[in-house]
Amino acid sequence: MRFAIRMEGRTALLASYGAYAVTAALLGVLGFMIWLTRPVPTGGMRTDMSIVTWICTVVILAIVGAAHVALGRQLQAAARRDAARGRR
């Protein structure tokens, strides 16, 4: 679904970088979740529960990350259109 994004080119470009930064931060959250729930010899979660937790986390973060990437692409396209019109 495409939306008409109306903002200045530089603002749209910075917002697109922010959307991509959120996606990168989600990778950090995933890494922390994997580290937090990993099975260790002295305790921690069982292996099967860890795998279920990882799958659930990956699905949710992948959906949110895909939405941010799509939004970032739309914002970059809006910035390119604004630059093509001669506005900065």
Per-residue pLDDT of the chain (88 residues; tens, 9 = 90+): 666 667 788 888 999 999 999 999 999 999 999 998 888 888 778 889 999 999 999 999 999 999 999 999 998 988 888 778 776 5
d(CA 49, CA 38): 10
How open is the CA angle 6-64-72, to the nearest 5 degrees? 30
Q: Is there a contact between 46 and 39 (Cβ–Cβ < 8 Å)? A: yes
Q: Is there a contact between 49 and 1 (Cβ–Cβ < 8 Å)? A: no
Contacts of 86 (CB under 8 A, 6+ apart): none
